Amino acid sequence: MLIRNVTDVDLIEIQAIYAHWVRTGTASFELEAPSVEELGRRAADIAQKDLPYLVALRDGKLIGYAYANWFRPRPAYRFCVENSIYVHPEVRRGGVARFLMAELVTRCEQAGARQMVAVIGDSGNTPSIALHAAMGFNHVGTIRSTGWKFGRWLDTVLMQRTLGAGDSIPAPDR
C-alpha cells in the first residue's frame, strides 16, 4: 500500500467513495454527496492551512483517503484538528483505515497540531469507535440525537488524542 498527498486527479475517486458512504452509511451526516468541485474547494482549504490530505493506493487504485482540518474555524483552534477517514467499501476492515490514521497522526504532529478530535457519526458506528480507541483516542463524550438520517436520530461520539507535546508546553506563536 502506498500513501501519498492528494492531487486534483484523485478527487473523482474520492467523491465516489464518499458518495457511497453518504448514501448508505451514518458516519457522515451529509444527506447529499458533494460534487467533485466542492471536494476540491474543501481540499484547497485544508492545503491552505498546511494540513495533511492523504490517499491510500493499492496496485495503483485509490482505496481510501484521510485528512485533517481545524476542529473549529476560529484561529484559536489551529492546534486542534479533526480527522476524517473513508475507505472504499470493498476494502473495509482490511487495515487501510489504520494505516491512513497512523500516517495522518504523524503528519499532523509534524504540522504542529497538539490535539486530534474524532467526531464520529452514530454511536452505533462501532468499527470507527474501535479504530480510534486502538489508535490511542479516548472517549470524551456522546452528544445524543444530533442528526436525523435514514428515518432515525443519530448520536455524535467525540474522541480525542493528544499529539506531540499536547498541552504540556505553550503553543508557538503563529
**Contact between 109 and 164 (Cβ < 8 Å):** yes
pLDDT at site 162: 98
Q: Stretch 13-24: mean pLDDT, rounded?
A: 98
Are the C-beta atoms of residues 114 and 174 closer than 8 Å to each other? no
Instruction: Answer yes or no: is pLDDT of 174 > 80.
Output: no
Q: Is the predicted pLDDT of residue 73 greater than 80, yes or no?
A: yes
- Which pTM value belongs to this model? 0.95
The reported pLDDT for the residue numbered 85 is 98
145: left (phi over 0), alpha (psi -120 to 50) or beta: left
The confidence score (pLDDT) of residue 27 equals 95
What pLDDT does residue 141 have? 98
Confidence check: pLDDT of 4 > 80 = yes
CATH of domain 2-116: 3.40.630.30
User: What pLDDT is recorded for position 93?
Assistant: 79
CB burial of 23-51 (b: ≥16 within 10 Å; e: otherwise) equals eebbbbeeeebbeeeebbebbeebeeeeb
Q: pLDDT digits over 137-169, tens only?
A: 999 999 999 999 999 999 999 999 999 999 999
56 closest CA partner among 12, 23, 103, 18? 103
How many Cα atoms occupy the beta-carbon half-sphere of 173 within 13 Å?
0
Q: Taking 80 as the threshold, does the pLDDT of residue 118 lie above it?
A: yes
Return the C-alpha cell found at 115: 490535539
User: Which alpha helices (DSSP H) does 49-160 contain, by range?
Assistant: 96-110, 126-134
pLDDT at 106 over 80: yes
Mean pLDDT, residues 58-62 taken together: 96
Domain limits, the chain? 2-116
Question: What confidence category does residue 92 fall into, taking pLDDT thresholds of 50, 70 and 90?
Answer: confident
pLDDT of residue 173: 83
Q: What is the pLDDT, as a whole number, of residue 94? A: 84
Which is it for the CA torsion 104, 106, 109, 110, positive or negative?
Answer: negative
The H-or-E segment that residue 38 falls in is: helix 36-48
